A and B are shown apart, each in its own frame.
Chain A
């Protein structure tokens, strides 16, 4: 055998050993990941709220299990130990999920045993939390329960008031609207006093509000928005025109009401309000004397009206204003002043 052939043979042997070693490392790495994958699979069996906590807990525990067996066990045995732990967790997740489902039942409707079960569950969980959580958390729970109780009591009396603007009310009402949503929106100008200030519509709340409206429109609920202009020149404002186009594309019916078009008998009644399903009116009140133009975007209080008289008053007001207003397309062909 020549020297070259021997050299080639040695080289081939070395390459073979290296490839074998690499393949072995690759396989070992993949096998080590199996228990972690099983834990992720197990966590997916739980509801979303507890998934991340469970994954973190079981992953840390698996690491501890494997660490304890790292020094005295061959890799294959470690794989078996890890997999055994993880398969147990898969079984545990199924049992935990079944336990939770047997306890928490969805409400059957506005009245009846479903609601009673939910309230009983809230009381039970709150009581359980009280024994384990720090005072700050129990104070928060107490405050939220008191708020919920006050809301129900006030609605029962026909009108609920909130200091500021309650985003949860707005979004929950929009999401559950079944037949109609009619809204007024009084425009504000920016710091120059000349251009439309659309900062609210760029906020996170507005984005979620519009997304919800798009969803209810898709299910057949008509949504109307009436922009009440506080300055006549805003009828030709490019930012407002862009906003109207965007909302029109979402399926919202838009009209603009210039100051001169407001019926004289309605001049003192212009507010921001929304009528949901002709059954509930949501009204925000801004500062009486705003110090800045955008102050009116910040409600100082929000009211929910359930009283049929109050709702009928606002429904008639909306009808009158809507009739007096015009769609934006008929007026936005004019160039913006100064453009």
Chain B
């Protein structure tokens, strides 16, 4: 599996897959889940697939019986799932807001000198 430049859009797609790792996804379902148009989603799927993060396969249906062509489904590869979790955790850590600033507790009461 190769490295991948993680943009915010890529992270959003990975997040959609991590909701249910074993669940294969259609492109159109991912479009609706992420709100991305096809022009934005498919290049991301292509990059993730080429990098080995996603597995791409035909759904197992008989087109003649279903009356429609078989669709392509995507799912996270085992390595892709582990990497996605790791990357999202790292990103969440980076984006975690800092602790609120607490007032410095004075060691000595005001108005007194050593």
Interface residues of A (CB under 8 A from B): 56-61, 63-65, 67-68, 84-93, 95-96, 99-100, 103, 124-125, 127-132
A contact face: mostly helix, strand, loop, or mixed: helix
A88 to B68, CA, bound (A): 22
The reply on B72 being an interface residue by CB < 8 A is yes
Query: Which residue on chain B has the smallest CB distance to residue A87?
Result: B39
10 contacts between A and B (CB under 8 A): A56-B72, A61-B28, A61-B71, A64-B28, A88-B38, A91-B38, A92-B40, A92-B42, A95-B43, A131-B52
The interface residues of chain A lying within 8 Å CB-to-CB of B46 are: 92, 96, 99
User: Using a CB–CB distance below 8 Å, which chain B residues touch chain A?
Assistant: 1-2, 26-28, 37-43, 46-47, 49-52, 54-55, 68-72, 77-80
Contact residue among A67, A92, A131 (Cβ-Cβ distance under 8 Å from B77): A131
Closest chain-A Cβ to B3's Cβ sits at a distance in Å of: 9
A60 vs B26: C-alpha distance when bound (angstroms): 10
On whether the beta carbons of A124 and B27 are closer than 8 Å, the reply is no
Residues on the A chain within 8 Å of B78, using CB: 131
Does the CB pair A59–B69 fall under 8 Å? yes
The answer to whether A88 and B40 touch across the interface, beta carbons within 8 angstroms, is yes
Tell me the minimal C-beta distance from A41 to chain B in angstroms.
Answer: 14
Question: A-B pairs with the 7 shortest C-beta distances?
Answer: A88-B38, A91-B39, A88-B39, A128-B52, A92-B42, A95-B43, A60-B69
**Docked-complex contact A127 and B52, CB < 8 angstroms:** yes
A100 to chain B, nearest CB (A): 8
> In the docked arrangement, what's the CA distance between A132 and B57, Å?
10
The smallest C-beta distance from B46 to any residue of chain A, in angstroms, reads 5
B83, closest chain A residue (CB): A131
**A residues less than 8 Å from B27 (CB atoms):** 57, 61
Most buried by A among B27, B41, B42, B55: B42
Would B68 and A60 count as touching, CB distance under 8 A?
yes
Are B68 and A128 in contact, with the CB atoms below 8 A? no
Contact of A92 with B41 at beta-carbon distance under 8 Å, contacts A60-B68, A65-B28, A131-B1 already known = yes
B64 to chain A, nearest CB (A): 14
How far, in angstroms, from A323 to B71 measured CA to CA in the complex?
Answer: 64
Q: Is A92 in contact with B68, judged by CB distance below 8 angstroms?
A: no
From B47, which residue of chain A is reached at the shortest CB distance?
A: A99
Is A128 within 8 A of B71, CB to CB? no
Measured CA separation A67–B71 after assembly (Å):
13
User: Are A57 and B43 within 8 A (Cβ)?
Assistant: no
Instruction: Kindly list chain A residues whose C-beta atoms are within 8 Å of the C-beta of B80.
Output: 131
Say whether B43 contacts A132, CB under 8 Å.
Answer: no
Point out the residues of chain B lying under 8 angstroms from A96, CB to CB: 42-43, 46
Cα A131 to Cα B72 in complex, Å, equals 19
A131 touches B79 (CB 8 A): yes
Cα distance, A132 to B81, chains bound together (Å):
12
Note all chain A residues with C-beta closer than 8 A to B38: 58, 61, 85-86, 88-89, 91-92
In the complex with contacts A60-B70, A64-B28, A127-B42 CB distance below 8 A = no
Q: How far is the CA of A68 from the CA of B27 in the complex (A)?
A: 14
A60 touches which one: B40, B72, B77 (CB < 8 A)? B72
Assembly CA distance A89 to B26 (angstroms): 15
Q: How far is the CA of A85 from the CA of B30 in the complex (A)?
A: 13
Q: Which residues of A contact B28 (CB under 8 A)?
A: 61, 64-65, 68
A92 touches B43 (CB 8 A): yes
Contact B79 A61 (CB under 8 A): no
CB-nearest residue of chain B to A53? B72
Contact of A132 among B40, B41, B52, B68 (CB under 8 A): B52
| Bound complex: CA A67 to CA B42 (Å) | 20
